[in-house]
Structures are given as C-alpha cells and as structure tokens.
Amino acid sequence: MEIKNATFIVSNSDYRKCPDDSLPEYAFIGRSNVGKSSLINMLTRNKSLAKTSVKPGKTQLINHFLINREWYLVDLPGYGYARVSKTARESWMKMINEYFINRKNLVNTFVLIDSRIPPKKIDLDFLSFLGQNGIALSVVFTKVDKQNQSETARNVNTFKEAMQQQWEELPPIFITSSVTGTGRSKILDYIESLNTMINNK
C-alpha cells in the first residue's frame, strides 16, 4: 500500500470525542520515547506529522491521523515515564484504558518495544492487558539502526521467550527503524491486508 494522503484530524483526552468510528483504526502504543511518533512519521513519509522529541513524555493525548481518507492511525502517549506525578499517571491510565476498551473500530494495536533492551515487565504487562481485553495486537521492535543485526536478533528472541511464558501463540512481529525505513512496507502491507479483510466482510 502507498500512503497518498495523511492528515492530522484531532487530539483529545477522551475516547468519546474521537472521530466517528466508521473507519478502521490502528493504534501505536509503547513505553515513552520508544519511537511511536517517529514510526508514524516514517510510515507516512511525513517528518512533521506526529510530534517527536528526544525527551520522553512528548505525546500527551490521543492523536488521530486520517490516511488515504480510508483509515486512521492513532498516536498515543507512552507509558512508564518515571518522572510524572501519580495524578498524571492515573489520568494516563484512565484515558488509555477507556480508549482501548471502548474504541469499537480499533482493528489492531501495534505495541512498540525498544529492540536494544531486555524484556521489561511493564511491556509484558501491557501486552497482557490487551490480550485480556481481546484486543488484536502486533509487536514492533524499534530503533534497529542503533545496533547490529545479531544484537537485534538476540533481543527479539529473548523477548519472544518471555512472551511465550504467558502466551500460547506469538503475535505478528515487525522489525523497524524510523531512520532507515526498515519494516515500513511490511507494516503497511499488514494494515492493507486487514483493511481488505474488513471490506470483504
């Protein structure tokens, strides 16, 4: 699939105010600073579509982008940023939980994991939360340009082993770099295949 058109629609903190739910939607979530907004810009080939930052905690709201006038990409605020107040963490939890539990047109959630680090409990817990709520997901390893292929392969395998302790079947897995564009066509083809499935229903 090629992206011909990517338009920012709206940011908000309440799933009830999200755009109408008649189009398929794909959400991007993961720890703060893992590269969610950068991945959205890489996929859409628009460096300034989603706001990115070297500092964690940049994305604060639920951001909808309309793609090819046919489906939504959603950029979400990250979890696990240590330097936030308890109140801020609780309001994040409420906003995100409500979004995931109630958003009816959500087709798939891409959970981003930093390819350079060992499995983190917070990521495994978030995957379990999605699984327990019956939300379809894929795992996307980010920033692979920062290390060599064998290091990436080792970390991906360790993560898969950790997931296998909790999951009977592994989800689809993507290996990406927002700097080099690695993984772009695989993710877009995957979204296209899901969109086609929905349209044929």
- Residues 28 to 67: which contact Mg ion by CB under 5 A? 36-37, 58-59
Q: Where are the beta strands (DSSP E) in the chain?
A: 6-12, 25-30, 62-67, 71-75, 106-114, 137-142, 173-175
Residue with tokens 């295949």: 193
Binding track over 80-119 against ligand GTP, x by CB under 6 A: ----------------------------------------
Work out whether 56 is an interface residue with ligand GTP (CB under 6 A): yes
- In degrees, rounded to 5, the angle at the alpha carbon of residue 29 between the alpha carbons of residues 120 and 132 is 75
Taking the least distance from each CB to ligand GTP, the nearer of 58 and 103 is: 58
Work out whether 143 is an interface residue with ligand GTP (CB under 6 A): yes
Two structure tokens written together for 158: 């360790």
First to last CA, the chain: 20
Taking the least distance from each CB to ligand GTP, the nearer of 30 and 195 is: 30
Residue nearest to ligand GTP (CB): 78
Residue 74 bridge partners (DSSP): 27, 64
CB of 198 to Mg ion, least distance (A): 27
Work out whether 131 is an interface residue with ligand GTP (CB under 6 A): no
